[in-house]
Amino acid sequence: MEEITVHQLKEKKENRDAFFLLDVRETFEYYISKIDGSTVIPVDELLSRLDELEDKKDKEIIVMCRTGSRSAQAQKMLLNNGFKNVKNLKGGINQWAREIDNSLPLY
């Protein structure tokens, strides 16, 4: 399964590349720290909300969570349901906070 680093994601954002950033943490976690432009669908709700992502099936989706483990689970779910280009953000929001935006809290 493909992964993307926080530096690669930062470059994609700076270049305004087309991708969908899916945050699979719980909603309360999103309010602790977030990456602008992300959409929250908690991993436990993902399968029941796949219809919301139907128009993204052939687009690049980058999945993130706190550390990268829930997003890896979500990545597998998406790939198993016909999504073609899904990448896991290695290290999650905490890695982003460590290496890209240290104004965000680690939790």
Under DSSP, is residue 23 helix (H, G, I), strand (E, B) or coil? Answer: strand
Count of CB atoms situated within 10 Å of the CB of 44: 12
* 65 noted as active-site residue: yes
Question: Which residue among 63, 65, 74, 78 is the active-site one?
Answer: 65
Q: What is the DSSP string of 44-90?
A: GGTGGGGGGGGGGTTSEEEEE-SSSHHHHHHHHHHHHTT--EEEEET
- The residues that are catalytic are 65
